[in-house]
């Protein structure tokens, strides 16, 4: 038996994954972009809190903890590094960019060659596991769409105008998985476990990044996000004409509908850093709700856009 396989069978989850500090939840309020961007002043990134909900909407303004921050470039599909110190997004030229939390010190990690639509990056950090001979990895995974075909790409997070490569998904020779049509990647901030969906077959996949990058079918759905501990996945599934939020454990066979009486569409969900809360987009703004489904969604800002948490 190989060291890697032995480690997989015998190690506890705590031994596999590096822990991170406990994180707390913050909410954002509706703000005026011009006024809030001006009020940020010289404080810059130092004036912005961690562990808060952020909203990007394809403009140069990003809402962070009640402040509207002017990134001075178009910001699409913004997300955060695991420690929350860096933002990653697609800029107005379609390039993959990393910056400080206020949009300053921008670095083009990868330059779009043209003829492609890049979207939905996720910061993918995996701690080293010496017992399993698994090295640390720090990369950004995103979607590149060309000629109507989507494919997952990866590039080192520290690259400067780096060259992205294809991210293959593997589940053994007897269980081939689609290499195209894969979209909406999302990685756990603690374990490196990641999820993605396939636009062609409507399936959500979960990927174990610690040892062999094993990918498995989870369920039917779209727009998945994985919890910080890598154990639960929230995703979208259409029910009677509306998009509902569902959550399913990685070892479970069925999913729980968190919005069973939905009269609107809930989309683009994400977990809070402590895994207890889910934020999602609606036509009237961003809502939050307990990941357990113990309470109904509550609107926390009327700003419509992509929710993300700065850890």
Please write down the HEC assignment for all residues of 121-181.
Answer: EEEEEECCEHHHCECCEEEEEEEEEECCEEEEEEEECCCCCCCCEECCCECCCCCCCCCCC
**Which of 215, 222, 219 has the alpha carbon at shortest distance from 200?**
222
DSSP state of 272: -
**How many structural domains comprise the chain?**
1
What pLDDT, on the 0 to 100 scale, is given for residue 23? 30
How confident is the prediction along the chain (311 residues), in pLDDT tens digits per residue? 444 434 333 443 443 333 333 332 333 333 345 444 444 444 568 789 999 999 999 999 999 998 999 999 999 999 999 999 999 999 999 999 999 999 999 999 999 999 999 999 999 998 887 876 778 889 999 999 999 999 999 999 999 999 999 998 887 667 789 999 999 999 998 888 999 999 999 999 999 876 556 889 999 999 999 999 999 999 999 999 999 999 999 989 999 999 999 999 999 999 999 999 999 999 999 999 999 999 999 999 999 999 999 99
Measured in whole angstroms, how far is the alpha carbon of residue 114 from the centre of its chain?
A: 24
What pLDDT, on the 0 to 100 scale, is given for residue 109? 98
- The CATH number linked to 258 is 2.120.10.30
Residue 66, phi-psi category: left (phi > 0), alpha (psi -120 to 50), beta (remainder): left
What pLDDT, on the 0 to 100 scale, is given for residue 168? 87
What pLDDT, on the 0 to 100 scale, is given for residue 190? 83
Q: Which domain holds residue 64?
A: 3-310
Instruction: Enter the pTM of the model.
Output: 0.85
CB 74 within 8 A of CB 59: yes
What pLDDT, on the 0 to 100 scale, is given for residue 213? 64
Tell me which H or E stretch contains 20: none
116-120: Cβ within 8 A, 24+ apart: 116/144, 116/145, 116/146, 117/144, 117/145, 117/146, 118/90, 118/94, 118/142, 118/143, 118/144, 118/145, 118/153, 119/76, 119/77, 119/90, 119/143, 119/145, 119/183, 120/77, 120/183, 120/184, 120/185
The two structure tokens encoding residue 224: 């998945």
The two structure tokens encoding residue 204: 């959500």
How many C-beta atoms surround the C-beta of residue 194 within 10 A? 25
Radius of gyration (C-alpha) of the chain in whole angstroms: 19
Measured in whole angstroms, how far is the alpha carbon of residue 246 from the centre of its chain?
A: 16
CB 85 within 8 A of CB 310: no
């Amino acid at each position: 038996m190989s060291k890697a396989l032995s480690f997989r069978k015998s190690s506890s989850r705590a031994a596999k994954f590096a822990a991170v500090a406990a994180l707390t939840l913050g909410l954002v309020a509706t703000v005026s972009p011009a006024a809030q961007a001006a009020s940020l002043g010289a404080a810059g990134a130092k004036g912005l809190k961690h562990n808060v909900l952020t909203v990007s909407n394809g403009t140069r303004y990003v809402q962070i903890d009640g402040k509207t921050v002017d990134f001075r470039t178009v910001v699409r599909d913004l997300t955060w590094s695991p420690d929350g110190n860096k933002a990653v997004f697609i800029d107005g030229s379609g390039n993959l960019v990393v910056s400080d939390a206020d949009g300053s010190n921008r670095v083009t990690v990868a330059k779009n060659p043209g003829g492609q639509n890049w979207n939905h990056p996720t910061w993918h950090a995996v701690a080293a596991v010496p017992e399993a001979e698994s090295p640390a990895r720090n990369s950004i995974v995103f979607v590149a769409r060309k000629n109507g075909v989507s494919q997952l790409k990866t590039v080192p997070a520290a690259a400067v105008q780096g060259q992205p490569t294809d991210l293959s998904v593997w589940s053994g020779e007897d269980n081939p998985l689609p290499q195209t049509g894969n979209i909406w990647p999302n990685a756990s901030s603690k374990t490196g476990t990641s999820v993605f969906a396939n636009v062609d077959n409507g399936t959500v996949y979960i990927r174990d990044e610690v040892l062999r990058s094993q990918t498995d079918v989870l369920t039917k759905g779209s727009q998945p996000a994985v919890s910080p501990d890598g154990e639960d996945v929230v995703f979208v599934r259409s029910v009677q004409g509306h998009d509902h939020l569902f959550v399913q454990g990685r070892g479970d066979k069925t999913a729980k509908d968190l919005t069973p009486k939905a009269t609107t569409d809930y989309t683009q969900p994400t977990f809070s850093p402590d895994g207890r809360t889910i934020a999602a987009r609606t036509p009237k703004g961003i809502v939050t709700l307990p990941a357990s489904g113990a309470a109904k969604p509550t609107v926390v800002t009327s700003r419509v856009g992509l929710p993300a948490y700065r850890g």
